[in-house]
Amino acid sequence: MRTATTLIYRVGEPELKYLLCQHVWESSGHARFIRERGRELSGFGAGESVRASLRQLFTEAVMPTDAYVALAGFYQVLKPALLSAYRHYLRITDHLADWPSKKLVEEFIADEERHAREIQPYLGKVDASAWIAHLQTAVSALGGLLGETTAVPLPADFKWESVTGPYQHPETCNRGIYPTCSSVFSHDPEETPIVRPWLVDPKTDARVIRLMVYVWLMMEMDAVDYLATVFFDTPDAPFDMHHDMARHLWDESRHSQFGFRQLPKLGVDLMTLEHSLDLYNILVQMPPHERYAMMTMEFEAGSFPTKALVMDRIRELNDFEADTLLAFDRNDEQNHVRYGHRWLPEIMALFGETRPADEFVKATQARFAELAKTYGGRTPHALSPEKRLTGTKILKLAGVA
């Protein structure tokens, strides 16, 4: 989970980001089932720490500067090694004595085989052969993830890339072929597609609001990218926190897909919709507990009043699909704020933060505002006003101009 999430903000294709979020969520479920089953068995480890040798291997896998080299290493070495370990477990485990575990592992194998098929279209974009060989050498030195093969000592010239320096998140996230900007929100209909006053103005046509809301939903890609950075930075977090974060991540990717799938149906050319980068660019400058606080206690908790008004307006259209998507979005966001109340104190403690949560959140909001002065607004419009989607063009698409 901690390794796969480092791929999300480094690859560019929205569909690939969505797929990675899905795989992370499914893998978190596998881990949770293993833990629950393990608690029923004597001799199962009582703690949640990853063995040092495995942590070293998976940390090594994040190191390539090219995201698609890292993607190849993860899916062509580490995931096959995990699949091999699962298959080995089935071969050596008594089918009756440990029937519950075997049935779980059979389900995991089916998921892993599907993951391999689903990722195939995104592999082969770069020559990753040297990195694949490097990681395979490291796996062979362990004798596989379960020690199921004969361990082969590392060559004398083998160098752990993760020893030379710590992994660093990129300064900005990757949006591939899509045009970018600092923000899709403003007060100027000639500047951005979402015009803040229009969202809450009762005079705004509901068809306009629907289009703007789908843009807003698609831009929850911001949340996908910056939340994904928190996993790797919290190696000592409780598993349950990472499990809930994985669900949070998958939810946000689904919300983004709502917009990604619906906007073209309403006449929007996605290549005219700029992707906003400000939130990632600012938040990556902050430590993980501050990133998480801003996401759950500021951005999500603060969105409810506007989203409630928006939902009321959308109902005027008798658009069952839009109503359904927005209802699930709001339900998920309420759960995310609950996650924030549950986990913010714990992630604060991981980083030695002793202030009361409310005081910490206020201080973090002020710090974000200061960082925004330096790191916000740095991404110029990739498209001219004539080419990019704006509020004025949304009026025309909605048929009200």
365 band by pLDDT with thresholds 50, 70 and 90: very high
DSSP class of residue 51? Answer: P
User: What does the pLDDT read at residue 102?
Assistant: 94
Alpha carbons 260 and 246: distance in angstroms, whole number:
21
pLDDT tens, residue by residue, 291-322: 999 999 999 988 888 988 999 999 999 999 99
Mean pLDDT for the stretch of residues 60-89:
97
Domain ranges of the chain: 5-164, 180-397
Is the predicted pLDDT of residue 35 greater than 80, yes or no? Answer: yes
At residue 68's C-alpha, the angle toward residues 64 and 74, to 5°, is 75
The most distant pair of C-alpha atoms in the chain lies apart, rounded to whole Å, by 72
Residue, of 401 and 235, whose pLDDT is higher: 235
pLDDT band at 46 (very low <50, low <70, confident <90, very high): confident
> What average pLDDT does the structure give for the chain?
96
Q: Confidence class of residue 91 from pLDDT cuts 50, 70 and 90?
A: very high
- In angstroms, the CA 197 to CA 204 distance is 9
pLDDT category at 401 given cuts 50, 70, 90 is confident
CA distance 344 to 237: 11
Q: Which of 81, 65, 49, 53 is nearest to 161 (CA)?
A: 65
Mean pLDDT of the 219-243 span? 97
How many alpha carbons fall within 13 Å on the CB side of residue 316?
14
Token output for 52: 């040092």
